[in-house]
Amino acid sequence: MNDPKIVYFMDNHPFPFPEEIAQKWVQQELDLTREIFAAFAEDHWRPAKGSPLKVIRETIDSEGANKRDVYVGDVDLRHGTWWSERLTPVQDHWEEWRDKERVFSIGAALKPQYHGRGIGSTAMDVLFNQWGIPIIGCTEVRAGTYTSNVRSLRVWEKLGFVRAPGIPETTVIVQKEKIGGEEGRVEKQCTLIWSLP
Ligand X SMILES: CC(C)(COP(=O)(O)OP(=O)(O)OC[C@H]1O[C@@H](n2cnc3c(N)ncnc32)[C@H](O)[C@@H]1OP(=O)(O)O)[C@@H](O)C(=O)NCCC(=O)NCCS
Q: Which of residues 111-150 bind ligand X (CB under 6 A)?
A: 115-121, 143, 145, 149-150
Name the residue nearer to ligand X (CB basis): 139 or 145.
145
Question: What phi, psi does 48 have (nearest 5°)?
Answer: -75, 150
Over its C-alpha atoms, the chain yields an Rg (Å, rounded) of: 18
Q: Would you count residue 151 as binding ligand X (CB under 6 A)?
A: yes
Number of residues that bind ligand X (CB under 6 A): 23
Q: Which stretch binds ligand X (CB under 6 A): 18-26, 35-43, 46-54, 103-111?
A: 103-111
- For 90-110, letters b (16+ CB in 10 Å) and e give eeeeeeeebbeebbbbbbbbb
Per-residue x/- marks for ligand X, 81-100, CB under 6 A? Answer: --------------------
DSSP 8-state secondary structure symbol assigned to residue 28:
H
Q: Would you count residue 191 as binding ligand X (CB under 6 A)?
A: no
Q: How many residues are listed for the chain in this entry?
A: 197
Q: Would you count residue 50 as binding ligand X (CB under 6 A)?
A: no
Name the residue nearer to ligand X (CB basis): 73 or 132.
73
- Output the smallest distance, CB 124 to ligand X, in A: 7
- Which one of 9, 15, 128, 131 is in contact with ligand X (CB under 6 A)? 9
By DSSP bridging, strand 162-163 and strand 170-174 are unpaired
Residue 92 in contact with residue 111, Cβ under 8 Å? no
Per-residue x/- marks for ligand X, 154-173, CB under 6 A? Answer: xx------------------
Name the residue nearer to ligand X (CB basis): 87 or 172.
172
Residue 169 in contact with residue 8, Cβ under 8 Å? no
- Output the smallest distance, CB 97 to ligand X, in A: 29
Following DSSP, what letter does each residue of 53-80 receive, concatenated?
--EEEEEEE-STT-EEEEEEEEEEEEE-
- Output the smallest distance, CB 175 to ligand X, in A: 15
**Interior angle at CA 123, CA 113 and CA 4, nearest 5:** 35
For 18, 68, 94, 95, the CA distances from 24, given in Å and listed in that order, are 10, 26, 36, 35
Interface positions with ligand X (CB under 6 A): 6, 9-10, 73, 107-110, 115-121, 143, 145, 149-152, 154-155
